[in-house]
Amino acid sequence: MAGLIVLKPGVDWTATGGLFDWTLEFLISRLSDRQAAARLQEIVDNNLGSLWIDELPGPVQQEIVRHWRSGLVGAGEQQLPETEQKATVVRHLQELVDATYTAEFPGLAEPT
């Protein structure tokens, strides 16, 4: 089963179910909004397979994007198992981070 993260209409990211869950689990303990974290946990626990960022409050969207931009790829490099596919998987995580810039989240500075 695949997972889908929609950053905004027309800007999305798909991954295997396992990588999708890992990507949400990366956020769950980091989010300051515990209600949003509980929603992400519900998606993982019930294998719902999709997250629409624009359904979350603006500050939560920004926090998610900040966490992905600042730590997702590094966490993947450190935490994902050492397999022949690891480099490909980490590049796929980078594609999600890159998509956050394409989606142009209001209130977040672009890289200089």
Is there a domain that residue 112 lies in? no
Mean pLDDT of the region 49-67: 95
Query: Residue 10 pLDDT more than 50?
Result: yes
Cα of 84 vs its chain's centroid, Å: 23
Is there a domain that residue 59 lies in? yes
Report which of 91, 100, 103 is spatially closest to residue 15, judged by C-alpha positions: 91
> Domain containing 66: what range?
2-102
DSSP state of 83: -
Is there a domain that residue 84 lies in? yes
Is there a domain that residue 111 lies in? no
Is there a domain that residue 110 lies in? no
Global confidence as pTM: 0.91
Residue 112 is predicted with a pLDDT of 45
Number of structural domains, the chain?
A: 1
